[in-house]
Amino acid sequence: MKNLFFSFLIAFIMLIASADISLAQCAMCKQSAESSLKEGNTDAKGLNAGIMYLLVIPYALVGGIGYYWYLNHKKKASDTAVNK
């Protein structure tokens, strides 16, 4: 139990420590996308599509796993009700 707490604590500290680096990258991407739109390039559209792809995949995976678990749990509950 103690090791689990320390693992979460270290992971949290590393997450907080890396926040400055990740915010700097977002500002650079934003500036690059804004300048390319002003020049007439379509690079920003590709950047937005990539962001949406990275956003949707984890939610789809978690939703799919949750739905699969729900169906199995519902099936087991109905099987136990029939057997009684």
**Residue pLDDT, tens place only, 20-62:** 665 556 777 778 777 887 888 877 778 778 888 888 999 999 9
CB atoms under 10 Å from CB of 23, counted, come to 10
DSSP string covering 13-69: HHHHHTHHHHHHHHHHHHHHHHHHHHHT--HHHHHHHHHHHHHHHHHHHHHHHHHHH
Segment (H or E) for 75: helix 43-83
Residues 56 and 72 in one domain: yes
Residues 6+ apart with CB under 8 A from 10: none
Least confident of 2-6, 52-56, 62-66: 2-6
Q: What per-residue confidence (pLDDT) applies to 35?
A: 83
Q: Measured between alpha carbons, how far is 69 from 84 in angstroms, rounded to an integer?
A: 23
Residues 54 and 29 in one domain: no
Q: What per-residue confidence (pLDDT) applies to 62?
A: 94
Residues 21 and 46 in one domain: no
For 14, the domain range is: 1-41
Residues 47 and 36 in one domain: no
Residues 50 and 84 in one domain: yes
Least confident of 15-19, 30-34, 56-60, 70-74: 15-19
Q: Measured between alpha carbons, how far is 21 from 27 in angstroms, rounded to an integer?
A: 10
Residues 34 and 46 in one domain: no
pLDDT beyond 70 at 84: no
